[in-house]
Structure 1
Amino acid sequence: MRFVESKALWMLGGCGMVRWSWFIAVFMAAVVILPVGCRKKKKHTGGGGGGSQGTGVTYYVSTVGDDTNTGLSPSEAFRTIAHALSVAQDGDTIIVADGTYYEHDLDFQGKKIHLKSANGPTNCIIDCQQQGRAFHFHSGETADSILEGFTIQNGKVSNDGGAILCENNSSPTISNCTFSGNNAVCGGAICCYQSSLTIQNCAFSSNSARNGAGGAVSCGFLSNGTITNCTFSGNSADDYGGAIECWDNSSLTITNCTFSGNSANDWGGAIFCDTSTLTAINCVFSGNSVDAGGAILCMESSLTMTNCTFTNNSGNYCGGAIHCEDSSSATLNNCILWGNSAGSGGDEIYIYDSGSSCTLNHCCVDNKGYGGYTGNITENNCIHQDPLFVNPASGDLHLQSNSPCIDAGNNSYVPSGVTEDLDGNPRIVNGTVDIGAYEKQ
């Protein structure tokens, strides 16, 4: 069954992009104005107080403060985050007291400010009340523009980035935040264009992309992103990428993350990758669902997965765990793919076209679950036995003591600098790495 009638991406209204090669051609002939918006749908049928403070002034914000105060002490706190951001300069820190702040469309204005809660995201909430997004980074912010320790909820916009929009080479650091109930066309919580975003120690739940892609995060148009130590649960997209969409010559590296119960109507229950590069290390994909590519669907993309676990993901049509098409290449190292399902073939992996391929190195995989161009699936030193999870029904995907995955991986595939598993325990025990996201201790 063919899922794509046309690979063209069009500029329409406020929600469109063109293929990069077409864009270059048009740009050389005339000036092109790019609207904020995702590409048009392809035809288918810990506590916030943890970070270091700047070397400059520290300002305080409180629900009982007043913007006519100096902001220089808790007793002289400002009332709004917006006012504190307007006053602060490079190197300054803003500490926000516990409470709920009903604000939206906040702007760092390109400044290197560390904005953080006093006591973490459970105690400090930014509620946008569906009146806009929480933050717009658009002035070349760098990694020294830090947002830390907030719950950001109920953001809603008519275009992209329900809670946060990053564009114009803006690359802030977002740390220890919770994103819940945010909604946009693309990037229900966060959308990133031509920027390099760092997201760490965050939780994304129940965010949604309506008539678009990337229920939680959309990373596109020549963007680079790193996502580390995050959880994605119950996010949804009307089109592609229930949790994440990576598109248009972008690159995304995901480490130590879990994806559970995310869904999309069309492709990529957890992640949709289009003409981009995706790398994932020490990640778990479980219970994600979609038409094709229960966990991941990649088009014209390069996918590298190391020490990841895929189980209980489902595709209504093909590719219960992974679906590759349009000359995509997937490389899986030390990964587990077991217990996934698809209605029309490829419970574990589906290769749609002759130009796509998948190579599995030292993986534990149910090789009866291959579909499509199975001759383009290559195995090197793989095992085909039940991985023996501790309790998969309850979501415990650690390995039992007699699991065939213990000491069955290949150390050479573990990236340099990776010394821990998904739990934060030592990654290699007894000299040889285990297969999957968790190392038996």
Structure 2
Amino acid sequence: GGTGWGDAFATIGKALSVAGDYDFVFVADATYNETDLNFNGSKIYLKGVDHNNAGQQPIIDCQSSGRAFYFHSGETEDSVVDNFTIKNGSANYGGAIHCSHSSSPTVTNCTFSSNSANHYGGAIYCESSNPTITHCTFSSNSASSGGVIYCTDSSLSITDCAFIRNSANLEGGAIYCNSSSPTVTNCTFSNNSADYNGGAVHCDSSSPTITNCAFCGNGASYSGGAIYCKSSSSLSLNNCILWGNTAIGGGNEIYIYDSGSSCTLNYCCVDNTGYGGSGTIDDSNNCIHDDPQFVDAANGDYHLKDTSPCIDAGDNSLVPSGVDKDLDGKERIVDGNNDGTATVDIGAYEHQP
């Protein structure tokens, strides 16, 4: 079985159990009520396809009875999950995906919705693992900390993703970093919330690099509406927008709790009235403090108007190597203001003149 659609396996789990290194496993669009799917260390490409209805993703509905995937056998970037909707996952750690023991799979073109963790990582939990996460949308996921992603002792890569309306009962409405150094590029963080600190991102003894991202409408009931850092964290923000975030206890945009922690902003657009905490916030490197002029922030459109001060206001050298497209998949560095020089915009979307 499993050689074609005519004798396809009935479950994803069965297909994974017989697949080996560099096998492709194609999954037709349908709903699969499966949990704890396991690659067992194999370099398998698991690909969702619209076999039955054009444009449809297969859905893994965990029915709140477990998580979808468990990576714990040293999987590499050649272990791939591509083009699935993963919803209603539930676990203590990693409601949809759990990565541990130096497992670093690739997760791409997926939608994560309504997954939850009792403790950490509503959608994804990473411990001593470095997954690559690209072109994913995360909405309405929740956890005590790290509403979407909780990473500890990890250096994951997150590119071209949208984090929308995720929440944490404690800290890190979207991402919680503990002793980790993630790179986050071309992402939007909107309307995420934490009941304590870090409406979008919470850093604890961590050094994230965040480039060409937009943080808007996130909120914390205590401190750090968008970002909160503590315990000797060192945060770098490059070509980013932080605007319209709120924190009841201070630091609407950024809160650096302790003097041993710092945040360096390069070529960012930020509301500099929204700083808080005892740590260093350095925005002296070509940052601007004017309204970014989104097309329609109230309805989640964070493209730039023609009159935005963020057009061609970034620094090309800060764009990571290999990143040549924006969140829309359009050219990342273009001459948006028609001055004859192609310069990257600030934010997740490049204005296309």
Normalising to structure 2: TM-score of the pair? 0.90
Which residue, out of 324, 349, 352, partners 1:419? 324
Structure having the higher Rg: 1
Counterparts of 1:162-173 in structure 2, within 5 Å, are 162-171=67-76, 172-173=79-80
Deviation at 1:173, TM superposition (A): 1.1
Separation of aligned partners in 2, 1:120 and 1:370:
50
Distance in 2, Cα, partners of 1:369 & 1:120: 49
The answer on whether the counterparts of 1:155 and 1:162 sit within 8 Å (CA) in structure 2 is no
User: For 2:317, what is the secondary structure of its paired residue?
Assistant: helix
**SS state of the match for residue 266, structure 1?**
strand
1:426 to partner: Cα distance: 0.9
Q: Which amino acid aligns with 2:230?
A: E
1:403 corresponds, among 287, 290, 308, to: 308
1:223 aligned to which of 107, 129, 135: 129
Within 2, Cα distance between the matches of 1:233 and 1:103? 21
> Which residue of 1 is the match for residue 295 of structure 2?
390
2:139 corresponds to 1:233: yes
Aligned to 2:58: 150
Q: What is the CA distance between 1:154 and its match in structure 2?
A: 1.9
8 A contact 2:31–2:61 mirrored in 1? no
2:83 to 150, 153, 176: 176
Pair 419,275 (structure 1): closer, same or farther in 2 beyond 3 Å: same
* Letter matched to residue 141 of structure 2: N
**1:252 is aligned with what amino acid?**
L
- Given the superposition, is the C-alpha separation of residues 118 and 423 from structure 1 closer, same or farther in structure 2, using an over 3 Å criterion? closer
Cα contact 2:35–2:62 (8 A) shared by 1: no
CA positional deviation for 1:373: 1.9
Question: Match of 1:412, SS?
Answer: helix
Q: Using the alignment, how far apart are the partners of 2:51 and 2:137 within structure 1?
A: 17
Which of the residues 254, 260, 274 maps onto 1:349?
254
| 1:108-119 matches, cutoff 5 A | 108-119=39-50
Residues of 1 paired with 2:22 and 2:263: CA distance?
Answer: 47
Provide the aligned length of Structure 1 versus Structure 2.
Answer: 342
3-state DSSP of counterpart to 2:184 = strand
1:425 CA displacement: 1.1
Which of structures 1 and 2 has the larger relative contact order (alpha carbons within 8 angstroms, sep 6+)? 2
2:285 alignment counterpart: 380
Match of 2:112 among 186, 204, 222: 204
Aligned residue number for residue 200 of structure 2: 295
Q: Residue in 2 aligned with 1:433? A: 344
Instruction: Give the aligned residue type for 1:421.
Output: D
Q: Which residue matches 2:339? A: none
CA distance in 1, matches of 2:48, 2:343: 42
Q: Which residue of structure 2 aligns with residue 193 of structure 1?
A: 100
1:265-324: CA deviation from partner (whole Å, max 9, x where unpaired): 111111000011121111111100002111101000001111111111101010011111
TM-score, structure 1 normalization: 0.73
- C-alpha distance 92-198 of structure 1, shift in aligned 2 (>3 A): closer
SS at match of 1:277: coil
User: What's the offset of the Cα at 1:75?
Assistant: 3.8
Uncovered stretches (5+) of structure 2, i.e. residues with no partner: 336-341
What residue number does 1:267 align with? 171
The answer to whether the Cα contact below 8 Å between 2:86 and 2:111 also exists between their aligned partners in 1 is: yes
Change (3 A) 1:295 1:121: farther
Could you say which residue in structure 1 is the equivalent of 2:229? 324
Distance 1:121 1:181 in 2: 23
Residue 36 of structure 1 is matched in structure 2 by none
Please give the root-mean-square deviation of Cα atoms over the aligned residues, in Å.
Answer: 2.3
1:279 alignment counterpart: 183
SS class of match (1:393): helix
Q: Describe the SS at the equivalent of 2:228.
A: strand
Q: Which amino acid aligns with 1:224?
A: N
Given that 1:399 and 1:440 are in contact with CA atoms closer than 8 Å, whether structure 2 keeps it comes out as yes
Q: Given the superposition, is the C-alpha separation of residues 322 and 121 from structure 1 closer, same or farther in structure 2, using an over 3 Å criterion?
A: farther
Unaligned runs of 5+ in 1: 1-58, 61-71, 126-148
User: How far, CA to CA, are the matches of 1:337 and 1:118 in structure 2?
Assistant: 36
Cα distance in structure 2, aligned partners of 1:372 and 1:78: 56
CA pair 81-182 structure 1, distance change in 2 beyond 3 A: closer
Deviation at 1:73? 4.7
Aligned to 1:191, what secondary structure does the other structure show? Answer: strand
- Decide whether the 8 Å contact of 1:198 with 1:227 is kept in 2: yes
Please tell me whether the aligned partners of residues 34 and 60 of structure 2 are also in contact (alpha carbons under 8 angstroms). Answer: no
**CA 123–82 in structure 1, closer or farther in 2 if over 3 Å, else same:** farther
Cα distance change, pair 371–87 in 1 and its aligned pair in 2 (3 A): closer
Tell me what 1:254 maps to.
158
Conserved in 2, the CA contact under 8 Å of 1:156 and 1:163? no
Q: Provide the rounded CA distance (Å) in 2 between the counterparts of 1:228 and 1:208.
A: 20
Counterpart amino acid of 1:382? Answer: C
SS for the counterpart of 1:367 is: coil
The structure 1 segments of at least 4 consecutive aligned residues displaced by more than 3 Å after TM superposition are 72-118, 120-125, 374-378
User: 2 CA distance for matches of 1:81 and 1:187?
Assistant: 20
Equivalent AA in structure 2 for residue 266 of structure 1: L
Indicate the percent of aligned positions where both proteins have the same amino acid. Answer: 56
